[in-house]
Structure 1
Amino acid sequence: MGIRDIIEGKKQWRAHVARIKNLPPDYQIVYHEIQRYVFKVGPVDLLDGPLLTELVDFFEEGVAAGKGVLQITGPDVAAFVDGLLQDIPTYADVYQESLTKKKHGL
């Protein structure tokens, strides 16, 4: 990764953060809680994947439709996030696979 890639990555992240700051306060709170959880769980392609950008897109659509954040995520935000991550490999999955391989001598 070159210096230009780092600079471009920072520009993209700043633009992403600016979009979040334009959301209503309830959306911002839920976004930051989701982000904290996602960073902890660690999808393997989090930084290269579209998950967080698509989440902001989804939230902006909810705002445009005049809906509250819990109207679009449902009352159980954790279940909503688990649904988002359902088909995305995480570092926890990779670790579990390595344990399984060790257990079976592979």
Structure 2
Amino acid sequence: MGIQDIIEGKKQWRAHVARVKALPPDYRIVYKEMQKYLFKVGPVDLPDGPLLPGIVDFFEEGAAAGKGVVELIGTDVAAFCDDLIKDSRTYADVYQESLTRAPGAAEE
């Protein structure tokens, strides 16, 4: 990863954060909670993947339609997040795989 990649990544992240800040307050609060939850249990490719920008897209559409955030995702944020990542490889999966490897096996 070169310096240009790092700079481009920062630009993309700042643009993402600006989109989040433009959301209505209730959407922002729920997004932040979802982000915290996903960074704890989420997929391995979360920082570089399409999940977080996809959530912002979904929230922007909901806000534009005049819907409340609870109408979109329900009252259980964790369950909604779990449903989003149900088919993704998570850090918990990586950890479980490391535990099930035979002792002394070479790391990949």
- In the alignment, the residues of structure 1 paired with residue 94 and residue 31 of structure 2 have an alpha-carbon distance, to the nearest angstrom, of 26
User: How large is the Cα RMSD of the aligned pairs?
Assistant: 1.4
Corresponding residue number in structure 2 for 1:12: 12
Deviation at 1:5, TM superposition (A): 0.5
Which has the larger helix fraction? Answer: 1
Corresponding residue number in structure 2 for 1:68: 68
Aligned pair count reads 104
Paired residue type of 2:49:
G
Corresponding residue number in structure 1 for 2:94: 94
Gaps of 5+ in 2: none
- In the alignment, the residues of structure 1 paired with residue 101 and residue 37 of structure 2 have an alpha-carbon distance, to the nearest angstrom, of 27
Deviation at 1:82, TM superposition (A): 0.6
- 8 Å CA contact 2:42, 2:85 repeated in 1: no
> Is 2:30 aligned against 1:30?
yes
TM-score, scaled to structure 2: 0.90
- In the alignment, the residues of structure 1 paired with residue 76 and residue 46 of structure 2 have an alpha-carbon distance, to the nearest angstrom, of 22
Q: Higher mean Cα deviation, 72-81 or 27-36? A: 72-81
TM-score, scaled to structure 1: 0.92
Q: Deviations over 1:42-97 (max 9, x none)?
A: 41111221000000000001001100001000111111011011111111111112
Paired residue type of 1:82:
D
- 8 Å CA contact 2:62, 2:68 repeated in 1: yes
